[in-house]
Amino acid sequence: MSQDNIDILQRALKREKSARKAAEKILEEKSLELYNTAQKLKEANEKLELLLEEKTSQLQGVFENINDAYLIMDLEGNALKMNDAAIDLFGYDISKEKLNVINLIYKPDANYAFKSFKELRKKGAFTDYTARIITKSKSIKWVHINASVIYDKKKMPIAAQGIIRDITDAKRTASLIEEQKRKLAKSNDELQEYAHIVSHDLKSPLRSINALVSWIKEDNEGKLDTASLQNFTLIETTLEKMEQLISDVLSYSSIGSEENEKIDVDLGGVIKDLIKILYVPEHISINILNPLPTVKGYKTKLQQLFQNLISNAIKFIDKDKGLIEIECKALKNHYQFSVKDNGMGIDKQYHKKIFKIFHTLNESKNSTGIGLSIVKKIVDLHDGDIWLESEPGKGTTFFFTLKK
Amino acid sequence: MMKNNLKVLLIEDDMIEIMKFNRVVASLESKYNIVEAHNGDEALNILKKKDELPDIILLDLNMPKINGMEFLSILKKDKNLQHIPAIILTTSNNQKDLLECYKLGIAGYVLKPLKYEDYVTKIKNLLAYWSINELIKI
């Protein structure tokens, strides 16, 4: 072998050595990197496992502790897993016996049940299923169910789960309330009817007495002395008062038995009409201080409300110049109204009493003691409140609110 | 010209109410032919005489046996009687009664007032109004 050849070989060997060295170094670096990555992965895995464990135990907790019954079943309806609430509700313990949910279906609701089950298979879930079930002890319960299908990794359905709430008591309460409401409405109607009949029967004799008195007067014209004529007049005013009393009792008892819905009532219009039909003496003026709003309510009742307050104000004005002021301001949920007069005023001790039925402060021909209790009832009907401020001798202001 | 007096069938159970009505009629210048029935049964009997039908019927609502409303529905179902104007004369201004009556087909609804003088005015006007109406004569 020539010296040249040896040199060539030696150089090649040297190159190869250094290349291997470089390769070894790269390899070493790479494996270190790989090791580190593996280490990181391991840590991450550990964390994940920990997390999974945590989630599983959380789920287990939810499963065991929810008040609602929870059930997992296979696609044929065989129960696979139930929590304690489910065991309590259905009466079956699947660790001891088999249960297919079909056995729980209450026959009259079967169609609905199968339809919902089909929907579950097709859409993967159903919500707000509400029907009756029959438990192991043959008692019938109302339940509310939300259910969904459970899928495996390949998105194949493998089971279904459901949360079942026992709503038997709620249902019973609801139907009880319905029944009570119906009964109440019926007895209200009857009372209303009764009030009309009674008022008819009470008014008829008054009419007769009135007719008989006027005949005696007519037939004995010129023969009766002043005292007798006065007494006849007294009989007539008494009859009028009695009739007013009956009408007022009737209208008091008919508040709240409205058959119609509340409508938008323009109170400005109501007051305008009212002032036209009310008898307002010359010396009394009625001022509306600001435009009145439109509220939701019963028109005739609201008219009666203002009518009673205004005519009360008129009745008790004892000054030479009478002034009635009506004002309104908007509150958050209500409108607040005031009817202010410069009349004789009401002593503080009567402020609560005057809203009670048959409570009148003045024995007069025109007051039956029902007007303000009607007012109170109408205000109540519109979710409002009523009160007053007054200074004896100076005047009274009635305040009341009506819901917007 | 012959003028026929208005023939009125008054169906009323209360004796004093009948006296009131008759007293008003007696006080009027125009003459009216009044037939009284004290309940629905009696009224239906009177209406059986087809050649003596009244021109108008004044009807109280609250009566024993057949009440006013029942009488009214019988009347309005009867082919021979349904044309006779029926005017309610009652104390009840119950909206339900009013609606029911108008649905059954009444010709008027008059409330009996408390004061006799108001009653006189109402009856006088009522009779005068029906006297100027064209009515079915058989």
Task: List the A386-391 sheet strands across, edge first.
Answer: A284-288, A322-330, A334-341, A395-403, A386-391
Number of domains in chain B: 1
Which tokens belong to A44?
């991450």
Q: Is B68 within a domain? A: no
Closest by CA position to A145, among listed A179, A119, A184: A119
The answer to whether the CB atoms of B14 and A212 lie below 8 A apart is no
Q: Is B87 within a domain? A: yes
Which of chain A's residues have a Cβ under 8 Å away from the Cβ of B17?
A: 204, 207-208
The answer to whether the CB atoms of B114 and A206 lie below 8 A apart is yes
- Predicted local distance difference test score (pLDDT) of residue A1: 65
* A211 → closest Cβ in B90, B91, B116: B116
Q: Is B138 within a domain? A: no
Q: Is B3 within a domain? A: yes
Segment (H or E) for A64: helix A3-65
Interchain contact A194–B (C-beta under 8 A): no
Which positions in chain B have a beta carbon within 8 angstroms of at least one beta carbon in chain A? 14, 16-17, 19-20, 23, 62, 90-92, 94, 97, 112-117, 119
Tell me, what amino acid is at A246?
A: I
- Cβ within 8 Å of residue B69, ≥6 positions away: B61, B97, B100, B101, B104
Residue of A nearest to B120 (CA): A211
Distance from CA of A200 to the nearest CA of B (A): 6
Which of chain A's residues have a Cβ under 8 Å away from the Cβ of B92?
A: 196, 199-200
Q: What does the pLDDT look like over A325-381, one tens digit per residue?
A: 999 999 999 999 999 999 988 888 888 878 877 666 665 555 667 888 889 989 998
Residues 241 through 270 of chain A touching chain B, CB cutoff 8 Å: 243
- Predicted local distance difference test score (pLDDT) of residue B125: 96
Instruction: Answer whether residue B2 shows pLDDT above 60.
Output: no
- Cβ within 8 Å of residue A307, ≥6 positions away: A274, A278
Instruction: Answer whether residue B1 shows pLDDT above 50.
Output: no
Which of chain B's residues have a Cβ under 8 Å away from the Cβ of A199?
A: 91-92
- Cβ within 8 Å of residue A24, ≥6 positions away: none
The answer to whether the CB atoms of A211 and B94 lie below 8 A apart is no
Q: Which domain holds residue B112?
A: 1-20+31-38+55-62+78-91+106-117
Q: Is B99 within a domain? A: no
Distance from CA of B6 to the nearest CA of A (A): 25
- Predicted local distance difference test score (pLDDT) of residue A63: 74
Q: What is the DSSP string of A70-107?
A: EEEEETTSBEEEE-HHHHHHH---TTTS--BGGGGB-G
Q: Is A226 exposed, middle or buried (0-12, 13-18, 19+ CB in 10 A)?
A: exposed
Q: What does the pLDDT look like over B9-59, one tens digit per residue?
A: 999 999 999 999 999 999 998 889 999 999 999 999 999 988 889 999 999
- Cβ within 8 Å of residue B85, ≥6 positions away: B55, B56, B57, B107, B108, B130, B133, B135
- How many Å apart are CA A28 and CA A22, to the nearest integer? 10
Q: Is B127 within a domain? A: no
- Predicted local distance difference test score (pLDDT) of residue A367: 65
Q: What is the DSSP string of A280-301?
A: --TTEEEEE-S---EEEE-HHH
- Predicted local distance difference test score (pLDDT) of residue A351: 83
Which of chain A's residues have a Cβ under 8 Å away from the Cβ of B101?
A: none
Which tokens belong to A133?
């079930």
Asked if this assembly's ipTM is beyond 0.85, the reply is no
Extract the residue ranges of chain A whose pLDDT is less than 50.
Answer: none
**A28 contacts A45 by C-beta, under 8 angstroms:** no
Q: What does the pLDDT look like over A337-351, one tens digit per residue?
A: 999 999 988 888 888
Residue A164 forms beta bridges with which residues?
A: A69, A145
Closest by CA position to A70, among listed A168, A161, A166: A161
The answer to whether the CB atoms of B16 and A208 lie below 8 A apart is yes
Distance from CA of B17 to the nearest CA of A (A): 7
Q: Is B132 within a domain? A: no
Which of chain B's residues have a Cβ under 8 Å away from the Cβ of A206?
A: 114
CATH no. for residue B7? 3.40.50.2300
- How many Å apart are CA A159 and CA A189, to the nearest integer? 56
Residue of B nearest to A189 (CA): B96
Q: What does the pLDDT look like over B61-115, one tens digit per residue?
A: 888 778 888 999 999 999 999 999 999 999 888 888 899 999 999 999 999 999 9
Give alpha helix (H) positions in A220-339. Answer: 226-254, 267-277, 299-315
Q: Is B137 within a domain? A: no
The answer to whether the CB atoms of B20 and A201 lie below 8 A apart is no
- Predicted local distance difference test score (pLDDT) of residue B117: 93
- Predicted local distance difference test score (pLDDT) of residue A211: 94
